[in-house]
Amino acid sequence: MSGGSIASAQSLEDMAGQMVMVGFRGNAADTAGVRAVREQIARGEIGGVMFLRINVASLEAVRGINRNLVAARPWLPPFIALDQEGGQIERLTAAVGFNEIPSARAVAAQAPDRARVIYAGLADDLARLGFNVNFGPVVDLDLNPDNPIIARYDRAYGADPDEVVARAAAFVEAHHDAGIATALKHFPGHGSSAEDTHEGFVDVTGRWQPVELEPYRAMIDTGLADMVMVAHLYNSEIQGGGARQLPASLSRTWIEGVLRSELGFTGVAITDDLEMGAIRSRFDLHDTVVTAVEAGVDILLFSNSAAYDPALGTEIYQVLVDEGRADPAFADRIAQSYERVIALKRQMGIIP
């Protein structure tokens, strides 16, 4: 590592780690899993971590972990993220004293101004614990009542893009007020799917509808898209019938084509968890990392829960560095992602 200032951190090695976000083991600051990611942050090998419920023993312990991770300087402070949507999708629960909030469907059933109050309380609570990223809001349209991952858990605000955007905007604005970045999900739209990408390959050809892009278009146009989380969905009508049948999270057509060129998104593209069955069953680590970066992804998200490896962040980082050294075009992609990630960290006050 160069050990230089943020402004001068321009070597490939300095930049690559900002593309890596991993999950970890441990529910206290002094556990081995927390020490592992802290050391990876300090070496610049990872740019962020994600919490799962296994990392939550108590609110005070969570606060202690997050203080410990931020103290990993002199390198760049990390993104510290979690999924805290409300309803059934949450990492912090009433069991540890956290103020739970309703599901998206329940929020949408209330008066529109209630959404801002609910999400302001949530964001303030997360900020007090030291989080700076919440993976939400869900802007999937509720198009399939039998959907096993969106409709089943009441995660969508509804089927009307305008209603979805109104509540999603309240979510984002409340989090911004608390200094927390957000991630619109699950691009290009998971609400019409009939299968769950946690389990395996999901083909939405013939199910997915262009209207599912409208919440993204509106949120991007109004400056309310910090990150966009790209799902592991395949659609031959958009991507063609290529032999590899790449999911959107590994597809240049979706990320560089639709998300960036058509919708005008200039922020951070982050994958959904790259250890879900839709990816793990078809791609090895090296292929996953390289294909995602070439597709235009900025942050590679690995929950590190399928087969826990305390060195996973270092392994992903090494793939990025090795490929960047061998291929100038790949190194250029790393540089582009680094600039987007650093811009968001500055915007949110994570770095000066």
Q: Which residues are catalytic?
A: 198, 272
Q: 104, 88 in Cβ contact below 8 A?
A: no
The type of residue at 136 is G
The enclosing H or E element of 269 equals: strand 268-271
Three-state secondary structure call for residue 329: helix
The enclosing H or E element of 187 equals: strand 181-187
Question: Residue 341 — φ and ψ, nearest 5°?
Answer: -65, -45
Q: The sheet that has 300-302: what strands, in order across it?
A: 268-271, 227-230, 181-187, 133-134, 79-82, 48-50, 20-22, 300-302
The H-assigned helical ranges of the chain are 12-16, 32-42, 59-70, 104-108, 112-129, 161-177, 214-221, 236-239, 252, 277-280, 285-295, 312-326, 328-347
Which residue has 């739209």 as its token pair? 189
